[in-house]
A and B are shown apart, each in its own frame.
Chain A
Amino acid sequence: MRVVATTSDLASLAHAVTGDLAQVETIIPPAADPEAFEPRPSDFAKLKGASIVIRIGLGYDHWLDKLLSRHGDAAVNRGGAGYVDASVGVPLLEIKGSRIDPTQRDGHAHGLANPHYWLDPANAETISGGIAEAGILLAPQMAGKLIANRDGFLSRLKASLMEWERLLAPHRGARLIAYHNTWPYFARRFRLNIVDVIEVKEGVAPSPARLARLAAIIREQKIRVIVHEPFEPEEASQLLARRTGAAIVKLAPSVGSVPAASSYLALFDYNVGTLAQALSAASN
């Protein structure tokens, strides 16, 4: 079986479910900005003959529709047994992304909801369920192995989740500023308060007036940490950090964004560990 996932996070989850039953490939290279991704000719070849295609959905990997209609088999096109929209069944946040007045959108240029749902590890149960279901539909003889793989992964995830929650429990309600609106699912799971984001419109530099307002908010609310991602422009965050003394903490939004985040579980090991350390240092 050959599985193609649009992102490294979905690929890692697919690998956890399929184990050695499938060859898993990713379209967006690790550490790249998925929202600025443009497919290349080699991606067409990946889709040809794929048994299962897994996507984030919600407009995040919108370019996949065109690729699938041209290069994918019917089974991996929308409605096919091998087509997995991982967002199905996930409790979505910030559905106001699709507002009545499109000029009033804030934070995200995406479609229906905030698409970074894989950053709540609890959602991995739903996502991996969708992947296992597609695998069982396509290869019923592998059902036992797929279910066992998924159960094993979920029990490791459960143990890790308890540990992650324990690590961040002392920082419940900690106030943070994020560069991009990537972290609402992560914040909900670990009870963090992301007060504001620096980049209000995707790809447009924040205005100086906005930065001055944010500096005032950071000082008034005693915010000590600015969450930043590896591929984001650092200038605005550094400027705010210099003005306010807040620390910039680089978190990985996806598997492979930093070398330490080598798998789905390692992604949270890295993010939770890094954030807990930064918040502890700030409170000291």
Chain B
Amino acid sequence: MFEDVLAFAALPLTAAVVFTGIHTWFGLQVLRRNVVFADLALAQVSALGATVAVVAGHAVQSAAGYAYTLIFTAVGALLLTASRGLARSVRQEAFIGVLYVFATAATVLVIDRSPQGAEHVKKMLVGGILSVTGDELLKFVVLYSIIGAVHWVIRRPLLAASADADGRSDIGKFLVWDLIFYLSFGVVVTSSVATAGVLLVFCFLIVPALIGNLFSSHVGAALAIGWVAGATASAAGIFGSFLLDAPTGAVTVVAFAAALVIAGAIRAFITASATERSRNRRVGLQTGGLILSLLVGLSGAWVVIAPAGDHPILAAIEMATGIGPDRFMTAKERADYLEAGMVERRHKAEIDLLYDRERQSRWQGNELTADEIRRIGSMQQTLTEMGRGERFVVDYLRTRGRERERWYIGLPLAAAGLIGAAAIIRMARRAR
């Protein structure tokens, strides 16, 4: 099992680090150009190309499939290059948004001709970094090395073009560099989106670059910081998905978001100047305290107003302290409450037992007759209904408990939270 875990983690982690390597560089330029959503637009245009290829009867990985994708990406790159001219009258980002929604809608329309369309669209969004193969990884390394080397050689004009993103200069001045940037960007994004999906590629592109920019305005230093942060977040995401037993792509996106929050905290509370640190600490404590106080206060008020509603914060407090609604029940109610919970669990176990019996009979011993199957189904339904009955009793008695609890727990919580919030606001005003 441990070997499997390592085997399943090694390639995705290497792929994530490789993706971080090239995307951080592009991300830094994307941030300088203020075209944060250009990658989504380009990825969607290339996805449109891949979709047209699929509907035309070519596999996405075939030569024809790549040709379709590259041609569409090139058209997307041309449109984005031309959009710089728009930046004088409207924001370029607005044009990029229109390109994105158009490409998405066109993909849906094209995919409508293909029976397996929904799956294709979902795959482009979520990707499948977990199943990346060694051969695919090698292709990425070769492709990104070539693009990286070319960009290294022409880094000065590229950075100059991205620094003049607001369109002050004549469009012709940076036309070639813009076109090279968007074309290579399109090739990178097209290849990475097919493996990692749109959501994760957006993270690889933007989060490490943002973290790098938080700590340095020098491109080289920002790149190095972004690489370290991106690799760390990738490792946390992939190993986190093993620990949490959750889908890798989604956990990695959350890990990148967490990395950004942590980097922001380090920037505000550790690496800032002494005066800034002290101000940030004060503002941070006040904001955190205010949010916590409001949450507690409103949760307490909600218990008072609607004791029968959902109370996630109160439930967390109950779990932490062991003081639950059963403390506020009469002896008879408490006995019924505990018994109903126990009977409900017993019904669940009986349903599972019946399920296992039917499942075993599919291939072991004598086959169950249709009537025996119906009888099992009927018993499962009955037990489900009885279980619901017990759940109703549990919910009803919990509400009764909470109706009393609201005066002893809800009201003090509401008062403490709201007084705390008022005190924090007053302190903040005085400090000003």
Contact = CB atoms under 8 A, between A and B. Distances in A.
B126 interface: yes
Contacts of A192: 362-363
A126 to B, nearest CB: 9
Contacts of B361: 188
A245 interface: no
A94 interface: yes
Given A32-B115, A213-B1, A231-B115, A207 B387 contact: no
Contacts of A235: 128, 130-131
A184 B363 CA distance: 11
Nearest to B117: A32
A188 B367 CA distance: 8
B431 interface: no
A100 B116 contact: no
B367 A243 contact: no
A30 B114 CA distance: 11
Nearest to A104: B348
Contacts of A207: 241-242, 244-248
Contact of A33 (B8, B119, B128, B384): B119
A20 interface: no
A209 B5 contact: yes
A249 interface: no
B432 to A, nearest CB: 47
Nearest to B389: A100
A239 B131 contact: yes
B126 to A, nearest CB: 6
A205 B361 CA distance: 30
Contact of B348 (A40, A100, A236): A100
Contact of B119 (A36, A100, A211, A213): A36
Contacts of A208: 5, 8-9, 12, 130, 238, 241-242, 248
A137 interface: no
B275 interface: no
A266 interface: no
B119 A193 contact: no
Interface string B360-378: 0111100100110110110
Contacts of A203: 122
B331 interface: no
A74 B364 CA distance: 46
B130 A191 contact: no
A276 to B, nearest CB: 15
Contacts of A206: 247
Interface residues of B, number: 56
Given A184-B362, A187-B362, A235-B130, A30 B380 contact: no
A189 B35 CA distance: 58
A166 interface: no
B352 interface: yes
Given A187-B363, A239-B8, A95 B115 contact: no
A231 B116 contact: yes
A172 B363 CA distance: 7
A232 interface: yes
A93 B245 contact: no
B115 A188 contact: no
Contact of A216 (B1, B344, B381): B1
B391 interface: yes
A93 B380 CA distance: 10
The SS class assigned to the A binding surface is loop
Nearest to A28: B115
A101 B348 CA distance: 9
A230 interface: yes
B249 interface: yes
A233 B5 contact: no
Contacts of A91: 370-371, 373-374, 377
Nearest to A122: B370
Contacts of B377: 91-93, 95, 113
B355 A94 contact: yes
Contact of B241 (A209, A239, A242): A209
A121 to B, nearest CB: 13
B1 A99 contact: no
Given A187-B362, A188-B367, A239-B131, A209 B242 contact: yes
B101 interface: no
B363 to A, nearest CB: 4
A113 B371 CA distance: 16
Contacts of B362: 184, 187-188, 191-193
A233 B123 contact: yes
A157 B245 CA distance: 44
Contact of B115 (A30, A40, A172, A205): A30
A18 to B, nearest CB: 25
A172 B122 CA distance: 37
B116 A243 contact: no
Contacts of A172: 363
Contact of B351 (A36, A96, A191, A239): A96
User: Chain B CB within 10 Å — which of A95, A215, A231, A239 has the most?
Assistant: A95
B4 A212 contact: yes
Interface string A72-116: 000000000000000000011111101111001000000001000
B310 to A, nearest CB: 14
Query: Which 8 pairs show the lowest CB-CB distances between chains A and B?
Result: A235-B131, A100-B387, A235-B128, A91-B373, A212-B4, A31-B115, A36-B118, A32-B115
Interface of B: 1, 4-5, 7-9, 12, 112, 115-119, 122-123, 126, 128, 130-131, 133, 238, 241-249, 344, 347-348, 351-352, 354-355, 358-359, 361-364, 367, 370-371, 373-374, 376-377, 380-381, 384, 387-388, 391
Interface of A: 29-33, 36, 40, 91-96, 98-101, 104, 113, 172-173, 184, 187-188, 191-193, 203-213, 215-216, 230-233, 235-236, 238-239, 242-243
Given A95-B381, A172-B363, 19 more contacts: A31-B116, A92-B373, A93-B377, A94-B355, A95-B380, A96-B351, A96-B355, A99-B348, A100-B351, A188-B362, A193-B363, A207-B244, A209-B241, A211-B4, A215-B4, A215-B8, A231-B115, A238-B131, A239-B130
